[in-house]
Amino acid sequence: MRAASAITVATIRQVLGFRRAIIFGLAALAPALVFLLTTQALVDEAALDRFIGMVIGLYFPLLVPIVALIISASALGDERRDGTLSFLVLRPIPRSVISTSKIIGAIAVASALNALGAAAVGAVYGLETGSWGLVIPLVVGGVVASIVYASIFVPLGFFTDRAVLIGLAFVLIFENGVVSALSGLSSLSPWRLGMSAFSGLAPAEVASQLTDTGIANLAGLGSTLLRTMLILIISIVGTTLVLRRRDLA
Partner 1 sequence: MTLNPALVESPTIEVDDVSKWFGQKVAVSNVTCSFGPGVTGLLGPNGAGKTTMLRMLTGLIRPSQGAIRVLGVWPRTSPSVYSSIGLVPEEAAVYPSMTAREYVRYAATLSGVTDIHAATERAIDAVALDDAADRKLAGYSKGMRQRAKVAASLVSDPQILLLDEPLNGTDPVQRLHLISLFRRLGDEGRTIIVSSHILEEVERMSDRVIAVVDGRLAAAGDVAAIRSAMSDIPYRVRVETDRTRVLAARLLEESLVHGVSVEDGVLHVETGDLTALGKRVPAVAREVDARITSFRPEDASLESVFRYLVRKR
Q: Between 22 and 182, whose beta carbon lies closer to partner 1? A: 22
In the list 25, 94, 126, 133, the residue contacting partner 1 (rule: CB under 8 A) is 94
Distance separating alpha carbons of residues 118 and 201, to the nearest angstrom: 14
Q: Rounded distance, CA 134 to CA 185, Å?
A: 27
Segment lying near partner 1 (by CB under 8 A), choices 13-21, 102-110, 182-190, 225-233: 13-21
Footprint on residues 50-89 left by partner 1 (CB under 8 A): 82-84, 86-89
124 CA to centre of own chain = 21
Distance CA 47, CA 52 (A): 9
Cβ pair 176, 216 in contact under 8 A: no
Q: CA 92 → CA 3, 15, 87, 96, 240, distances in Å?
A: 10, 24, 11, 12, 15
- Return the closest-CA partner of residue 239 out of 95, 124, 43: 95
Q: Determine if 10 is a binding residue for partner 1 (CB under 8 A).
A: yes
Question: Closest distance between partner 1 and the C-beta of residue 99, in Å?
Answer: 13
Question: Is 91 or 234 the residue whose CB approaches partner 1 more closely?
Answer: 91
| 6 near partner 1, judged by CB under 8 A | yes
HSE of 152 in the Cβ direction (CA atoms, 13 Å)? 21
Q: How far is the CB of 186 from partner 1 (least distance, A)?
A: 39
Extended beta strands in the chain, E state: none
**12 forms part of the interface with partner 1 (CB under 8 A):** no
Interface stretch with partner 1, choices 118-126, 167-175, 186-194, 240-248 (CB under 8 A): 240-248
Q: Which residues contact 130 (CB under 8 A, 6 or more apart)?
A: none
Residue partners of 19: CB distance under 8 A and separation at least 6: none
According to CB under 8 A, which one of 41, 92, 184, 214 is a site residue for partner 1? Answer: 92
Tell me the site size for partner 1, rule CB under 8 A: 25
**Contacts with partner 1, 163-182, as mask; x by CB under 8 A:** --------------------
7 lines the binding site for partner 1 (CB under 8 A): yes
248 touching partner 1, by CB under 8 A:
yes
Contact 243, 89 (CB under 8 A): yes
Binding to partner 1 in span 17-56, by CB under 8 A: 17
Binding residues for partner 1, rule: CB under 8 A, are: 2-3, 6-7, 10, 13-14, 17, 82-84, 86-95, 244, 247-249
